[in-house]
Copies of this chain bind each other. A is one copy, B any other.
Amino acid sequence: MKAKVHVFLKPGVLDVQGKAIEGAVHALGFGGVSGVRVGRMIEFDIAGDDRAKAEAEVKALCDRLLANTVIESYKAELI
């Protein structure tokens, strides 16, 4: 199975990378762009056919390694 995990900063947490991109975007002349937020997208293959087990593994991985749940949230999907 393929897993896709989108990790993003929680609302209210200052996104410095997003602010830097926003500044560069405006400097390039695209004034209509605002609210830039940057996240990570992590994709991987997970062995086995047991969907429930795979879902539990992905959740454990997100909580323990892929996301810093103090400041980040994540959305995981299996395909």
The copy count of this chain in the complex is 2
Q: How many residues of A contact B (CB 8 A)?
A: 33
B36 touches A38 (CB 8 A): no
Pair A21/B33 contact, Cβ less than 8 Å: no
Q: Is the CB of B57 within 8 A of A21?
A: no
Please tell me if A16 contacts chain B, counting CB pairs below 8 Å.
no
Q: Which residues of A (18-57) have their CB < 8 Å from a CB of B?
A: 18, 21-22, 24-25, 28, 30-48, 57
> In the complex the two chains form, is A41's CB within 8 Å of B39's CB?
yes
CB-CB under 8 A for A44 and B37, given A25-B61, A66-B21: yes
Taking Cβ atoms with an 8 Å cutoff, the residues of A that contact B are 6, 8, 18, 21-22, 24-25, 28, 30-48, 57, 60-61, 64-66
